[in-house]
Amino acid sequence: MEAIGAVLPGASWQRCRTHYARNLLSQVPKSAQPWVATLLRTIFEQPDADAVQAQMSHVLDALEAKFPKAAAHLDTAQADLLAFAVFPREIWRQIWSNNPQERLNKEIRRRTDVVGIFPDRTAVIRLVGAVLAEQNDEWTEARRYMSRELLAKARLHPIDGESDNLAQPTELTA
């Protein structure tokens, strides 16, 4: 996270909710895991940022009463887990999940497993680079994860020289 802040000042960090849920569930007994998982999911089912914050407080209180260690764990992760809430509701799902990255990693593993042993580092870089270029073309031309209009709306500050045909960004506050 420090590297992200150094290279991209002002960028927010969103922790994957699925991976975080696994981490949180490891803090409670197996018998309580379904309850804690359901409780955690309620945070992400809220209609707006204020409701997300209110539900996080409610979940922390409920956990504190039964599982203080889990409550402390969630409290520590709160900022990274709720980073999505400052963006428009329409893109929350895309922000709090890392499914596209997971699919890309799976495709890289699939392609490299076929080869097995590479003659040198350059060969690995060439194959992985080709997979990444292919994925970039697909995301650019076929399946956009987020439309240009949604991305423009999500920006806190417009980029200098931004194309006039994009919707003006909405100023968001936390």
Please give, one letter per residue, the 3-state secondary structure of the chain.
CHHHHHHCCCCCCCCCHHHHHHHHHCCCCHHHHHHHHHHHHHHHCCCCHHHHHHHHHHHHHHHHHHCHHHHHHHHHHHHHHCHHHHCCHHHHHHHHCCHHHHHHHHHHHHHHHHHCCCCCHHHHHHHHHHHHHHHHHHHHHHCCCCCHHHHHHHCCCCCCCCCCCCCCCCCCCC
Does residue 172 lie within any of the structural domains? no
Comparing 139 with 88, which gets the higher pLDDT?
A: 88
Domain encompassing residue 127 = 98-143
Asked if residue 128 lies in contact with residue 110, where contact means CB atoms within 8 angstroms, the answer is: no
121 lies in the same domain as 90:
no
pLDDT of residue 166: 42
28 lies in the same domain as 61:
yes
45 lies in the same domain as 127:
no
Does residue 173 lie within any of the structural domains? no
Does residue 71 lie within any of the structural domains? yes
Does residue 55 lie within any of the structural domains? yes
* pLDDT (tens digit per residue) in 157-169: 555 544 444 444 4
- Give the lowest-confidence range in 93-102, 113-122, 124-133, 157-166: 157-166
Does residue 16 lie within any of the structural domains? yes
43 lies in the same domain as 31:
yes
Does residue 32 lie within any of the structural domains? yes
Does residue 169 lie within any of the structural domains? no
Q: How many domains does the chain have?
A: 2
**Residue written as token pair 């994957």:** 16
87 lies in the same domain as 116:
no
Asked if residue 37 lies in contact with residue 28, where contact means CB atoms within 8 angstroms, the answer is: no
> Does 127 score more than 70 pLDDT?
yes
**Residue written as token pair 């650019």:** 140
52 lies in the same domain as 119:
no
Greatest CA separation for the chain: 57
135 lies in the same domain as 118:
yes
DSSP 95: H
0.75 exceeded by the pTM?
no
Alpha helices in 98-172 (DSSP H): 99-115, 121-137, 148-154
25 lies in the same domain as 90:
yes
pLDDT of residue 164: 44
Does residue 73 lie within any of the structural domains? yes
